[in-house]
Structure 1
Amino acid sequence: MSQVLSAATRSLDEASEVAAPSTAQAVESSLVSQRVRVRCKGKCGAQWRTGTVTSTNPLEVQVDDWDSAHCWDQVEAKHELEATLALSRLSLSSDVQPPVAPRDSAKPDSLVGFATQRALPRSGGERAEEQQTQALVSQRAAELNLPERLTLGLSVDAIESYIAALPADAVEQCNENRPTINGVRVPANGALNGYVNQWLVARFSEANGGKAYCETLYERGDPGVGVATVFVSWFLETPLATLVDALRQYLRLHPELPPDTKFWVCDFVIRQSTRQLDVTMNDVKRLGECVRAVGHTVLLMVPWDAPKPLLRAYCIKEVFHTQDSGARFEVVMSSEQQAAFETALVEDFDSIATKLSEVDVRKAECRNPKDTEQILGELEEEVGLTECNKAVFGLLRGALA
């Protein structure tokens, strides 16, 4: 999660101590009016792009053929320009947009309102790059004989629109209908989380011919759904608001990605059912293939110092298939968790290494003990739990380095 900054940005604090506000304003006016040319790129080895400085506070660059400017992790220009760029702080994040509160009014039995996301205008270059990535996902899915519906995903805006359409008592409704496993009723949910969402989506699917949420939206031509290019591995007890916050944070840290990037989130992609569990399990059995097809996994680290996904067998399975297929792997955190993580990086780096060393896939569980036994059995047979543990540890260490 370390952020790579340009030489200009690294010298910012020293330069800003001696620069008068009027001088900085003059520099910004000069840079913008002269349309200074620079090259920039995002995180994780993204390609360099060429563009024009449009603002220095925050430092923003509009890439050629793009319709808008963004903040970037690295910005490079001629040597004589670096000192003046140091007058401006590189802003890598903006205020977190709070999730939309649930409506008070009751909804129809479906409980789900369709996303009404506006199709965002993008340049030809952005569209071509996104289409190429999606084509690769579709190609890998075809090689795996994976149905197109299991490659779909939602934009963050579409997820927020979905949340906004839920009734205020969604959690209470779900809790009243909690299932029992081996004669024991599952714990009550304290927030609108993934478990509540699965129950809601199952009701929607049962009212729409058994089809998944993404599947139905896709057939209706909703712009909020499309081929996913990022697979999200997360613990279902996580509140949806935290999930949305983390994905917003991820997009801010990756300005090279389009704002309507489609994220593969299990609740919305898998055909959920409260009546026919075999329908859901038929999709769940192909989870590893979904990971391999998308080719890019982000793990939601909540909390960062004891990530619950690493205690869930399904998440471990997703991380293993990410490593085994050579897919891209990153971690994502909510804004609050990332701030705590960055503090630990500075003040107590050893604690991070200690936490990572405590990962043990043998302790991973599912709500249903039968699922735990099945998944750990698969991993033991495919690679061995010891080697699986090493693979997971290696990916985490690389992502957090």
Structure 2
Amino acid sequence: MSRVTQIAFSWMGLPQYAARLIRGAVDRLGQDCIVVGSPPEVPITGMEEALNCPISWVDAMQPVTWRDLGFAIPEIFVQSGWAYPAFVALGREVKARGGRVIGLSDANWRGDFRQFALGAIAFRIFHRRHFDAMIVPGRQGERLMRWFGMPADLVRSGMYGADQTLFHGGGDLASRPKTFLFVGQFIARKDVLGLANAFIRFSRSRPDWRLRLCGNGELKHLIPQHDNIVTEDFVQPEQLAERFRMARVFVLPSLAEAWGLVVHEATSCGCSLLLSDRVGSADDLAGARNAVRFVAGNEDELLRALHEAADFDDARLVEAEAESRQLAGAFGPGRFGREVEGLISEFLHDARDQARQRPEFL
């Protein structure tokens, strides 16, 4: 790929996994890039080490200019969403100078009236002209962006993905402890209380299984006390990978989940899946042999799904692990880097074509 003068990335609440995704793109592009981020809610150590370059930290809700950050306006800007004033202002400057803006959006297809009509109209009127392409997590995001008016060839998947140098390995599922693992915030949207209550009912006939809940949030004090339920705070990525490697089933009962990076982390470590029908990444990571699905918010359905996942025999566990690892391979820093590089190459090709077609006046 021919070089451009400057490329910049931005990310709202820049977490470590995003730093590793950007690092994958920067390595693939083969040149130094600018990185702008707002601080994550949960501090993670080693952020700049993971990225291997300094980060310009901003308040995402306050407009900022490239001059404020000490940089010339780049030619290519990967913009985090369209609702954060800092990143919007930076993107507008790039477009005003004739540069290209690649949007990042983790919104997924819901099909409700607000999204189907109001969202599509608002995006087409207020936002579409400010983006040259869009990178989304997976299939549901692609569908939404196409509905919002982005051409299909300018919408790419791969926005999310675990770093598989961290999230990998684990023993055969049949040899792992009989553990259901949940990782996420202890909030109503994740339905962690519904999961705990369903598991208590499940454990009456399956006392050899354990539920491990890893996270934090406002509902933590309401999680029932039970001999087979272990609750712990969020841990650093290296320790979290060990939790996945020691779990047989990863469960995510969310009432709404745009994609769910934790699902990719789980499948990268070979876990089988227990997912509600509101988890966006299921279209990409839940296959015929590695996953059990259930209706979100329905405790009886969740109880049924717990029993179904626990009933996997050794042969099914082998199939589940293989399918999880195979599907997980499609996402990660390499995929993100390829999509960014591919879009930039297309922009450069378009620019050369336009230059050749420009009439010359003697």
For Structure 1 versus Structure 2, the TM-score category normalised by the shorter chain is under 0.3
TM, length-normalised to structure 2 = 0.27
TM-score of the aligned structures, taking structure 1 as reference length: 0.25
Which one has the bigger helix percentage?
Answer: 1
